[in-house]
Amino acid sequence: MSADRPTTDPIHRPGLAGALARGLDSDIFHSFKQSKVTMLAGAVTAIFFLAALFAPWIAPHDPYDLASISLMDSFLPPVWMEGGDARFPLGTDDQGRGILSTIIYGARASLVVGFAAVLLAAAIGVTLGLIAGYLGGTVDAVIMRVAEVQLSFPAILIALLIDGVARGVLGGDAEGNLAFAVIIVSIGLSFWVQYARTVRGSCLVEKNKEYVQAARVIGVHPALIVVRHVLPNVLGPVLVIATISLALAIITEATLSFLGVGVPPTQPSLGTMIRVGNDFLFSGEWWITMFPGAALAILVLAVNLLGDWLRDALNPKLR
């Protein structure tokens, strides 16, 4: 089943790391096959991933290649409406770019930002969580205090602020790849707290277990204990948070882009497309904003459903 692969892959990786996780693996696959909604969500997510990955081959044309777009084609309605053009199944925007192609490329930008932000947040959060949990004491108190303060503010606000400060430092008009980096960092920095808290909690439990004590007794370096022994055993919950926060990161990216402080207009994401299309809502060109909006909603819903299922599947209490 090709649809399964992208969704089970993230679970397989830590599954290879330890026998415990590998045991979970079969259960997870089983519960995946049992839920039709989850399979559908997995299939939808897989389609989005594949489309984003192979965008240059799948998209009818390259919306950012100035040679291939023509202003003559602008504002064409979807193909089933009067005046539609078979070359642009979902219509075109104000510059004559096909909506379908732009969605495929936009989903690519959204997913790249979402993934990178989640990876960054997980890296920061897991590291700090392990340090806080394993070392304890003042280090722990300081890290958790910062986490608590940050947690009492909504992530979107923190992302906005980091983005605003970065703009100030970089001179206000960061372009191209730099703008991508800014948005990834601002989302990543606003989502690390959950990882840190969860990992710290599991780390506190793990560090008193016998295998850790045994490692300590035979004189393994603390850093090695944490990386080799504790880390693999705290990764389960991290995966759940990562899936759910992927959906959140995609929403945050879209929101920031919609607010005009996100990815640069040269590489539009779904949020930027919705923002651009919003201006044409009143003149009747609803498809410019509605199709990217629907794509965003479907993607986020699918990822959310996968996250919900993963949380239940990994939680032995609920079985």
Binding-site ranges for other proteins (CB under 8 A):
145, 148-149, 151-154, 156-157, 160-161, 163-165, 167-169, 172, 247, 251, 254-255, 258-261, 274, 278, 281-282, 284, 286, 289-290, 293, 296-297, 300-301, 304
Which residue, 40 or 169, is less far from other proteins as judged by CB?
Answer: 169
Find out whether 230 and 131 touch, Cβ atoms under 8 Å: no
Phi, psi values for residue 46, rounded to 5°? -60, -45
Identify the CA nearest to 197 among candidates 271, 243, 269, 144. Answer: 144
CB of 152 to other proteins, least distance (A): 5
Which residue, 156 or 220, is less far from other proteins as judged by CB?
Answer: 156
CB of 302 to other proteins, least distance (A): 9
- 3-class secondary-structure state, position 210: helix
Which residue, 43 or 156, is less far from other proteins as judged by CB?
Answer: 156
Residue appearing with tokens 């919950």: 237
CB of 176 to other proteins, least distance (A): 18
Find out whether 218 and 154 touch, Cβ atoms under 8 Å: no
Which residue, 167 or 216, is less far from other proteins as judged by CB?
Answer: 167
C-beta atoms surrounding 172 within 10 Å: 8
Give the pair of three-digit tokens for residue 200: 């710290």
Find out whether 215 and 153 touch, Cβ atoms under 8 Å: no
Q: d(Cα 266, Cα 291) in Å, to the nearest integer?
A: 20
Which residue, 191 or 226, is less far from other proteins as judged by CB?
Answer: 191
Which residue, 132 or 231, is less far from other proteins as judged by CB?
Answer: 132
| The 3-state secondary structure of 276-303, one letter per residue | HHHCCCCCCCCHHHHHHHHHHHHHHHHH
Q: Which residues pair with 92 in a beta bridge?
A: 98
